[in-house]
Structure 1
């Protein structure tokens, strides 16, 4: 398989875990806060889609020209009224597929790309390797999958672990 396939496999597993967590919820539930946090299930899917799109642009070399407005969305964790769970999930899957294709086409995971000057940082852009970007996306996806699990359980009692067991045919 190799390193590239392993990295994509674990990133795919994390994406799939998040999508199992949001599977079966209504648009209304996806917009609902279930904790004191602003996080919502729909907003988390929306945020991760935007995050992956941003990293795709950076991987394509657009980092130095990106603006703060392109990188920071004040409503990034909220699902908009006109959005649907199905639409957000479809967009995230498509963006994920674009990322996987870009990584498959990349000649070297050690290739570095310049990052934008982040609104919270000063100085020249840093450079990250494609490998580090994938690991960053893994961390970001895992982090928010945990948030989603807590939100879902608070909404309707559903357990992502139990739902994964069902999907894998391991439920009692």
Structure 2
């Protein structure tokens, strides 16, 4: 886990947070020994870079944990996105001028701590919120805190795989194998 003090959790919460911690480790590990410049490099035809992927996962995790507490209002209105909204979203996938890998990793660690504290103290993992209106969500669907946490684990794992490819394309380093 990424907390500074052990949460001393057991059961389902411990299992879910352990699965998330493992995927976070794989994602963070792809940035080991890199400079800020290297963390911002695109190494494939995709727009993705390592620092940008971590920024995106940080933002995604913050947004979904806010959803657990505040419901769909925490997600914004996906049906009314402006050009500025789209540009801000695109910037999540880039290292912008003045951003550092250390700063990106610190922000990710802070988001991780917030998630772990929330899950540790949430009264009921079964508490559900309606998903916001968006073309990619089924209408009139609710997700429990448990389902949101499983989604965060899955998205982190998916992006850790992307990051592994980007890192291997950068300098041949691999996260596993």
Query: Which residue of 2 is the match for residue 106 of structure 1?
Result: 122
3-state SS, counterpart of residue 113 of structure 1 = strand
Q: Match of 2:45?
A: 36
How many residue pairs were aligned? 161
Q: In 1, are the aligned partners of 2:127 and 2:144 still within 8 Å (CA)?
A: yes
Within 1, Cα distance between the matches of 2:165 and 2:65? 28
1:160 maps to what in 2? 175
1:81 matched residue in structure 2? 97
Q: Which moved more, 1:149-158 or 1:64-73?
A: 64-73
Please tell me the root mean square deviation across aligned C-alpha atoms, in Å.
2.0
For residues 22-171 of structure 1, what are the structure 2 equivalents within 5 Å?
A: 22-64=31-73, 66-68=76-78, 73-118=89-134, 120-121=135-136, 126-161=141-176
Query: Is the CA contact (8 Å cut-off) linking 1:41 and 1:152 kept in structure 2?
Result: yes
TM-superposed CA distance for 1:121, in Å, is: 4.8
Range with bigger deviation, 74-83 or 10-19: 74-83
Under a length normalisation based on structure 1, what TM-score does the superposition of the two structures give?
0.86
Structure 2: any 5+ residue segments left out of the alignment? 1-9
Structure 1: gaps spanning 5 or more residues: 163-172
Tell me whether 128-137 or 106-115 shows the greater mean CA deviation: 106-115
